[in-house]
Amino acid sequence: VFEFIVILPFLAPPRPDTKHTIDCANEFGVSVKMITGDHRAIAVETCRTLGMGTNVLGTEKLPLMKAEELEKATTLGRDYGELCRKADGFAQVFPEHKYLIVEALRQQGMLVGMTGDGVNDAPALKRADVGIAVQGATSAAQAAADIVLTEPGLSTIVTAIVTSRKIFQRMKNFVIYRVACTEQLLFFFFISCVFYHPNEINAAWPSHFAIPVIALVTITILNDGTIISVAYDNVHASMQPEKWDLNILYIVSSAIGLTALASSLLILSVALSSADPTSAWREFGLPALSYGEIQTLMYLKISLSDYFSVFNSRTKGWFWSRAPSFILVGAFIFATAASTLLAVYWPFGNGMIGISWELSGYVWLYVAFWAIIQDAGKVLTYNTLQYFGWVESVAVIDERKLKDQTQQLFGVDVE
C-alpha cells in the first residue's frame, strides 16, 4: 500500500538574458514564438514569465505528417500558415510538428530562425532560414544548424541581428556607390566620344575626345580600393528589418552619378574652349590648355568625383550626419592623393601631359563644390521618395544603450 505524502515541484527558470533577448528581438521587429515538447501549462507559464504572449496552442490543429510528406508538401503555408503566425507558441509537439511550423511560416514568405539543442530539433533547424544550435547542443543539432553558440545563453542572437543589419546597410551603400561611379564613367566616355569633336575647336586635335586606357585603369584600380573600404565603414543598424529594393537604389545612385556626370561634361566643355580669350575658362584667369592637358584635367576630375561620391553614398542625410570610419577616410586620402600626383607628374605618356599644382587645386575646389550639390540632390531624392511613400524613414538601433543594458544584465564590460 502506498501513502501519498507530498508533491515536490521542480522549477527550471529561464536564463537571465533570455527575457532581454526576446524583448530586443520584438523591439527589432522579430516575432518570437515558443515551440516546446513540454505540457501546455508549463509553456504558458514560461511565456508569461518572459513577457511573451500566452496564446499557446497544442497540436490538435496540426497534423502529424510523415517526413516524406512534409518534404513534398507545398500547401502548408496556405493551410497552417495563418494559424502559426497568430499563435504565440505550440506545446507538446513532436519533431514533425516543429518542421511543419517552420515550413508553413516560410511558405508565407517569412524568414524563419530557430534555436534548438536536441536531435529532435535537427530537421527544423535544417529547414529554417537561420538554424541556431545553442551551447551544449547535440552533434546532430550542431550539424543541422547554420550558427552554433559556444557559450550559454541567447544574447548572442541580438548581436547577430545588429551585425547582420549593419552588413546589409554596408551592402546597400556599396551598391549605391558602385552604380553611381559606373554611371559617371560609362556615360561620360560615351557622350564625350560621340558628341564632342575637339577638331572643330583646333584642327590639330582628334575628331573625338578620348582618354587613354591606362588612365581608365588607374581610375578603376584606385576606385576598387575605395569601394573595399565601404565594408569597414561606420553604419547604423535599422530598428526594423529592411528588404532589397533595387529600383530605389538605382534612383538614388542616379541622383549622385548623373550629377557628377553633368559636372564632368560642364568642365570638359569649358576646358576645350580654353584657347578662346573670351571663354568662361579665361575669364576665371586660367591658362589655355593643350589637348593632352585637357585629357589629364578630365582624368583628375573624374577620379576625384568618383572618390568623393563614397561620402554621398553612405548616408540618407547629409554626408556629415555620420562620421566615416578611419579606414574609409584613409582609402579616400590615398586614392585622391595618388590621382593628384599622377595628374601633376603623369608618367605614362600616351599623349597626356601633366597639369600644374595650381590647376589641380582648382579642380579640387570644383569637385568639392559639386560634391555638395551631389549630396543635396541625394537628400532631395530621399525626401521625395519618402513623401510619395516609396521609402520609409526607419529608426536605428541605439547600440550604446543596448551595450549598457547588456552590461547591467551580466555585470561585465561589453566590447
Confidence of residue 139 (pLDDT cuts 50, 70, 90): very high
pLDDT band at 411 (very low <50, low <70, confident <90, very high): low
More confident residue, 349 or 35: 35
Q: What is the pLDDT of residue 410?
A: 67
Q: Which of 399, 390, 386, 389 is nearest to 28 (CA)?
A: 399
Chain-centroid distance, C-alpha 307: 19
Q: Is the pTM of this model over 0.75?
A: yes
Residue by residue, what is the 3-state secondary structure of the chain? CCCCCCCCCCCCCCCHHHHHHHHHHHHCCCCCCEECCCCHHHHHHHHHHCCCCCCEECCCCCCCCCHHHHHHCCCHHHHHHHHHHHCCEECCCCHHHHHHHHHHHHHCCCCCEEEECCHHHHHHHHHCCEEEECCCCCHHHHHHCCEECCCCCCHHHHHHHHHHHHHHHHHHHHHHHHHHHHHHHHHHHHHHHHHCCHHHCCCCCCCCCCCCHHHHHHHHHHHHHHHHHHHHCCCCCECCCCCCCHHHHHHHHHHHHHHHHHHHHHHHHHHHCCCCCCCHHHHCCCCCCCHHHHHHHHHHHHHHHHHHHHHHHCCCCCHHHCCCCHHHHHHHHHHHHHHHHHHHCCCCCCCCCCCCHHHHHHHHHHHHHHHHHHHHHHHHHHHHHHHCCCCCCCCECCHHHHHHHHHHHHCCCCC
Please tell me the predicted confidence (pLDDT) of residue 75. Answer: 92
Give the span between the Cα atoms of 6 and 49, in whole angstroms.
26
Q: Is residue 151's pLDDT more than 70?
A: yes
Q: What is the pLDDT of residue 256?
A: 95
User: Rounded to whole angstroms, how far apart are CA atoms 142 and 116?
Assistant: 9
Q: What's the mean pLDDT when you consider all of the chain?
A: 90
d(CA 32, CA 45): 16
pLDDT tens digits along 332-382: 999 999 999 999 999 988 889 999 999 999 999 999 999 999 999 999 999
At residue 116, φ and ψ (nearest 5 deg) are -170, 170
Tell how far CA 344 is from the center of its chain: 37
So what's the pLDDT on residue 265? 94
Is 307 a residue whose pLDDT tops 70? yes
- CA dist 48 and 113 (Å) reads 22
User: Looking at this protein, which amino acid is placed at residue 226?
Assistant: T
**Confidence band of 414 (pLDDT split at 50, 70, 90):** very low
Please return the burial class of 23, using the count of CB atoms within 10 Å of its CB with bins 0-12, 13-18 and 19+.
middle
Residue with cell 532581454: 20
